[in-house]
C-alpha cells in the first residue's frame, strides 16, 4: 500500500519551501454544504490553494480521485503537458448523484514525483 500524505494547515509550518510542497500537492474540495438526493451535485477538486503545481513531463499531477468514505466515486487522469507545461492549479469538476443522508467526501491527488496526497474531508448533508 502506498503512503498517503495528508494536508496540514500551512499556517502552522515555518519554512516557506515546506508550505509550498504541502500546499501545491494537496487537493482542496469546493462544493455546496448541502445536496439533494438523486439530483446532480458538482464537486470541484483543486490541486493547491496558494501554490501552483508544475506540469512537466517528469513531474505532474497524474490523477485526481474523489471518494465518499472508502467508496471511489470518480477519477480523472491526465497526461503531462495538458496544462501547457506551466505551473497551474489542476482543477477538476465531478458531477455525482448523492444518496443516503450525508456524503463524506475525500479527494486524492497523485503527483508523479511526490506520491498520493489527501485533502481534509468535507461533509455534505443530503436532503430528500
Contact (Cβ atoms closer than 8 angstroms) between residue 25 and residue 5: yes
Supply the pLDDT for residue 62. Answer: 94
Q: What are the tens digits of pLDDT across the range 80-105? A: 877 765 666 789 999 999 989 999 99
Does the pTM surpass 0.75? The reply is yes
Supply the pLDDT for residue 98. Answer: 95
Q: What are the tens digits of pLDDT across the range 60-78? A: 999 999 999 999 999 999 9
Contact (Cβ atoms closer than 8 angstroms) between residue 41 and residue 35: yes
CA 34 – CA 100 distance, rounded (Å): 12
Report which of 30, 21, 13, 40 is spatially closest to residue 120, judged by C-alpha positions: 30
Amino acid at each position: 500500500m502506498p503512503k498517503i500524505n495528508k494536508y496540514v494547515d500551512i499556517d502552522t509550518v515555518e519554512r516557506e519551501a515546506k508550505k509550498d510542497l504541502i500546499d501545491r500537492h494537496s487537493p482542496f474540495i469546493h462544493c455546496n454544504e448541502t445536496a439533494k438526493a438523486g439530483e446532480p451535485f458538482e464537486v470541484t477538486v483543486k490541486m493547491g490553494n496558494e501554490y501552483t503545481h508544475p506540469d512537466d513531463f517528469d513531474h505532474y499531477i497524474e490523477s485526481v480521485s474523489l471518494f465518499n468514505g472508502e467508496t471511489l466515486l470518480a477519477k480523472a487522469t491526465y497526461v503531462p503537458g495538458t496544462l501547457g507545461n506551466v505551473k497551474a492549479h489542476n482543477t477538476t469538476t465531478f458531477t455525482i448523484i448523492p444518496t443516503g443522508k450525508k456524503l463524506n467526501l475525500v479527494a486524492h491527488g497523485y503527483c508523479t514525483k511526490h506520491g498520493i496526497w489527501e485533502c481534509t474531508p468535507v461533509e455534505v448533508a443530503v436532503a430528500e
